[in-house]
Amino acid sequence: MDLSVLVFVVAGAVFLSMTVLTFLLIMPQVKARANLKQRVAIASGKAGSIRGGRAGGRDSGGRKRNIQSRLRELEDAKTKKSFAVKMREILRHAGLQTSVRNYFILCGGLAIGSCILYLILGYPRIGALPVAITVGFGFPRYVVKTMTKRRIAKFTKEFANAVDVIVRGIKSGLPVGECLNIIATESPEPVAGVFREIVESQKLGLSLDEALVRGQEQLNTPELQFFAIVLAIQAQTGGNLADTLSNLSRILRDRKKMGDKVRALSSEAKSSASIIGSLPFLMTALLYLTSPEYIGPLFTDSRGQIMIVGGLCWMSCGVFIMKQMINFEV
């Protein structure tokens, strides 16, 4: 058997084994999360029935049904959105004002430019398409996702203070709309931008419920969704809004404390994963700078190129597994 064919078969076997190993490692986590969500749903349902029985019931049961129906409406709205609408919301969540058309024009320009540069440098043509896809579409998506995460972190950090402003305003006799206007003018970004969208929507004649939906198009987080549900339910059923929002503020602060604690405890594992993932690339670059004649055949010979492809596939599986191992949800 030819050596290149043997290397290709070995690389394929390694890739297949790593795929099976990844599947075996990920599926138990997926099943565990599904079972956890099911247990939480059952527990919350039992808790709701107990509270309803103690209170006498009809009001708490109706409030629970309203919240559940509201959550179902939000999930149905997410699934019915078209691709263009979803992409527009992704860009808005990142704080970008560009249109979807301009975004894909930029992605196409990066893809074509990277492909041309790759071919000019004399690398094998078989790698031009993966490079174009990675640079043209993967890299912009990664940048947008990173910007969204940073914006969500800033929003979550200041959102509890914004809720406290509403609580103090309601206790002092101000209407909810005036409290929202104060947050829109006095709070830092991106909290001010989200509430500015809500206030401007109300000025255009939309109801509070519709204005809150438009506000979630600016930045959609679980905290903002629950805030919108609380305001919508309170507007329909009444009740002590100040106490409800005060409890929400306390929950948001406790959630942030738990997230900071989890990040502190997992920082060592994340640093180790980063070092392990970057070590092969750093060693390759170091060998190329110190002994280019030693590592040169790895890039020029066809067998070396096959080994590079197999190694990258193997590394991708390893990085994906490490990411799942250190990815903690709060």
The per-type count for the chain, helices as H runs and strands as E runs, is 13, 0
Q: Which helix (H) or strand (E) holds 217?
A: helix 208-218
CB 161 within 8 A of CB 248: no
DSSP letters, 220-238, are --HHHHHHHHHHHHHHHH-
Instruction: Give the model's pLDDT for residue 45.
Output: 46
Task: For helices 222-237 and 58-80, give the axis angle rounded to 10 degrees.
Answer: 130
Segments of 18-101 assigned E as strands: none
pTM > 0.85: no
Indicate whether 285 pLDDT > 80.
yes
Indicate whether 62 pLDDT > 70.
no
CB 215 within 8 A of CB 228: yes
Indicate whether 284 pLDDT > 50.
yes
Average pLDDT over residues 224-231: 82
pLDDT digits (tens, 9 = 90+) for 157-169: 888 888 888 888 8
Record the tokens describing residue 253, joined without a space.
């602060």
Residue holding tokens 């409406």? Answer: 73
Cα–Cα nearest to 60, from 69, 71, 50, 70: 50
Q: What angle is formed at CA 162 by the lines to CA 157 and CA 165, rounded to 5 degrees? A: 145
User: Among 135-149, 157-171, 228-242, 265-279, which stretch is predicted with the lowest mean pLDDT?
Assistant: 228-242
Cα–Cα nearest to 259, from 182, 191, 164, 327: 327
pLDDT digits (tens, 9 = 90+) for 171-181: 888 888 888 88
Instruction: Give the model's pLDDT for residue 46.
Output: 40
C-alpha distance from residue 51 to each of 48, 57, 71 (Å): 5, 8, 20
Cα–Cα nearest to 209, from 170, 185, 161, 176: 176
Instruction: Give the model's pLDDT for residue 299.
Output: 81
57 Rama class: left (phi>0) / alpha (psi -120 to 50) / beta: left
More confident residue, 178 or 54: 178
Instruction: Give the model's pLDDT for residue 260.
Output: 81
Instruction: Give the model's pLDDT for residue 29.
Output: 60
Confidence of residue 19 (pLDDT cuts 50, 70, 90): low
Q: Beta-carbon neighbour count of residue 166 at 10 Å?
A: 25
pLDDT digits (tens, 9 = 90+) for 202-211: 888 888 778 8
DSSP letters, 302-323, are HHHHHHHHHHHHHHHHHHHHHH
What is the overall mean pLDDT for the chain? Answer: 76
Distance separating alpha carbons of residues 210 and 79, to the nearest angstrom: 18
Residue holding tokens 């738990």? Answer: 258
Record the tokens describing residue 280, joined without a space.
């092969």
Indicate whether 55 pLDDT > 50.
no
Indicate whether 76 pLDDT > 70.
no
The residue ranges of every structural domain in the chain are: 266-330
Instruction: Give the model's pLDDT for residue 51.
Output: 41
Instruction: Give the model's pLDDT for residue 54.
Output: 42
Indicate whether 58 pLDDT > 50.
no
pLDDT digits (tens, 9 = 90+) for 309-327: 888 888 888 878 877 777 7
Distance separating alpha carbons of residues 74 and 44, to the nearest angstrom: 19
Q: Is 60 buried (19+), middle (13-18) or exposed (0-12) by CB count in 10 A?
A: middle
More confident residue, 7 or 121: 121
Task: For helices 208-218 and 222-237, give the axis angle rounded to 10 degrees.
Answer: 180
Q: What angle is formed at CA 296 by the lines to CA 290 and CA 297, rounded to 5 degrees? A: 145
